[in-house]
C-alpha cells in the first residue's frame, strides 16, 4: 500500500509542476482578473492530465505484451548485425520463448497513472467551470 501512495504523490507532483509551468506560460501570474487566471489553470491542468491518461494506456498495452514483437525484432537485429562476432554468436531464441520469458518478468498494470490523469482532467474541468461562472 505504501508503494502506491508514493506513486500517487509522484504523479501528483508531476501534474502540479507541469500545470504550474503551463499556466505560467499562459499568463497565470499576470492575469488581469480572476476568470483569466482560472482559464490559464484550466489549460494548465488539462495537458498533463491528458498526457497521464495516454501514458496509462501505453503502460496497459505494454503489460499485456503488445510491444513484445518489437523488442524481439530489435534483439534479433542487434544480435545478428551490430554486435556479433564469431566468439559472441549465440543461437537466437524463438518468439514463443521470448514472450514466455517476458511474461514471467512482467509487472502487473497499475491504474495509478490513469487515476492521476483523471484527477488532472477533473481539476481542469473545475477551473473551466469557475472560469465560466465568474
Alpha-carbon distance 54 to 87, whole Å? 43
Residues 48-68: pLDDT tens digits? Answer: 999 999 999 999 999 988 888
| Dist CA 87 CA 20 (whole Å) | 54
Within the chain, residue ranges assigned H as helices are: 2-25, 34-63, 68-77, 95-105, 112-133
* C-alpha distances out from residue 96 to 1, 90, 110, Å: 34, 17, 25
The model's pTM: 0.81
Select from 52, 41, 56, 6 the least CA-distant residue to 125.
Answer: 41
| Span between the terminal Cα atoms of the chain, in Å | 40
8-43 tens-digit pLDDT: 999 999 999 999 999 999 999 999 999 999 999 999
Amino acid at each position: 500500500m505504501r508503494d502506491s501512495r508514493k506513486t500517487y504523490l509522484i504523479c501528483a507532483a508531476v501534474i502540479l509542476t507541469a500545470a504550474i509551468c503551463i499556466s505560467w506560460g499562459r499568463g497565470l501570474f499576470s492575469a488581469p482578473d480572476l476568470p483569466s487566471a482560472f482559464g490559464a489553470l484550466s489549460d494548465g491542468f488539462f495537458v498533463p492530465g491528458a498526457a497521464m491518461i495516454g501514458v496509462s494506456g501505453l503502460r496497459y498495452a505494454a503489460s499485456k505484451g503488445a510491444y513484445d514483437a518489437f523488442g524481439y525484432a530489435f534483439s534479433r537485429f542487434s544480435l545478428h548485425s551490430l554486435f556479433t562476432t564469431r566468439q559472441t554468436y549465440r543461437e537466437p531464441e524463438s518468439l514463443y520463448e521470448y514472450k514466455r520469458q517476458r511474461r514471467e518478468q512482467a509487472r502487473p498494470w497499475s491504474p495509478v497513472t490513469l487515476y492521476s490523469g483523471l484527477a488532472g482532467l477533473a481539476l481542469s474541468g473545475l477551473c473551466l467551470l469557475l472560469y465560466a461562472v465568474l
